[in-house]
């Protein structure tokens, strides 16, 4: 399974192993970790929740979009759910491509798309409260289309 929602800690190496190929000279891996400070506010821990079957389908859709755009790419993504502490790994995205530039660009595309279309939510817990996070800026979503170049550089 190249696309997974995991309840247990993610084994990074095993995600990387899924995209190893003889044709690849580059594997770019993005690891999203729980950061302690966001805008000066101290996070104690996070809860991630997913609409699991749909989330897996949407991760797969992202992988297919990447393979269409970047020839020879292989993609594996695992996103964790449940309670995560500071420095815990929330998501691992591994993309292998023949040439290095593509591996960076395709991987970057994946994380931006995850933040747009994959039904996963996080609840931040601080010392003085908690809140479900999501698009507080009321920015545009792209449920079926693809983001424009400019959207990748926010």
Partner 1 sequence: MNKILFFAHLRDEVGEESVTIDASGKTVAEVKALVAEQYKLQKLDSAMTAINEEFAPNDEVIKDGDVIAFIPPVSGG
Smallest distance from a second copy to CB 20, Å: 6
- Token pair for 93: 């995205």
The C-alpha atoms of residue 92 and residue 43 are separated, in whole angstroms, by: 21
Assess contact for 25 and 18: CB atoms under 8 A: no
Cα(92)–Cα(33) distance, integer angstroms:
9
Minimum distance from CB of 68 to partner 1 (Å)?
19
As a three-state string, the secondary structure of 108-140 is HHHHHHHHHHCCEEEEEEECCEEEEECCCCCCC
Instruction: List residues binding partner 1 (CB under 8 A).
Output: 32, 48-51, 53-55, 57, 79, 90-91, 100, 111, 114-123, 132-135, 138, 141, 143-144
Considering beta carbons, is residue 57 or 108 the nearer one to a second copy? 108
Q: Residue 8 binds which entry of partner 1, a second copy, none, with Cβ cut-offs from 5 to 8 Å by kind?
A: none
- Cα 31–36–38 angle (5° rounding)? 95
In the bound complex, what is the minimum distance in angstroms from residue 41's beta carbon to a second copy? 13
Which of a second copy, partner 1, none is residue 4 near (CB under 5 to 8 Å by kind)?
Answer: none
Residue with tokens 């931006």: 112
What residues line the site for a second copy (CB under 8 A)?
12-13, 16, 20-38, 86-87, 96, 98, 100-101, 103-104, 107-108, 111, 153-154
Quote the least distance from Cβ 122 to partner 1, whole Å: 5
Separation of alpha carbons 19 and 5, rounded Å: 17
**What's CA 113's distance to the chain center, in Å?**
8
Minimum CB distance to partner 1 smaller for 138 or for 148: 138
Nearer to a second copy, 22 or 144 (CB): 22
């Amino acid at each position: 399974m190249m696309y997974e929602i995991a309840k247990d800690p993610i084994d990074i190496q095993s995600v990387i192993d899924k995209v190893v190929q003889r044709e690849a000279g580059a594997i770019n891996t993005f690891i999203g970790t729980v950061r302690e400070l966001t805008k000066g506010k101290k996070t104690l821990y996070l809860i991630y929740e997913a609409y699991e079957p749909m989330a897996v389908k949407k991760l797969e859709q992202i992988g297919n979009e990447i393979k269409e755009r970047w020839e020879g790419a292989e993609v594996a993504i695992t996103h964790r759910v449940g309670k995560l502490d500071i420095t815990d790994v929330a998501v691992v995205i591994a993309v292998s491509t023949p040439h290095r530039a593509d591996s960076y660009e395709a991987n970057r595309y994946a994380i931006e798309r995850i933040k747009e279309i994959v039904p996963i939510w996080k609840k931040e817990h601080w010392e003085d409260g908690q809140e479900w996070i999501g698009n507080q800026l009321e920015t545009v979503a792209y449920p079926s289309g693809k983001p424009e170049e400019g959207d990748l550089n926010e």
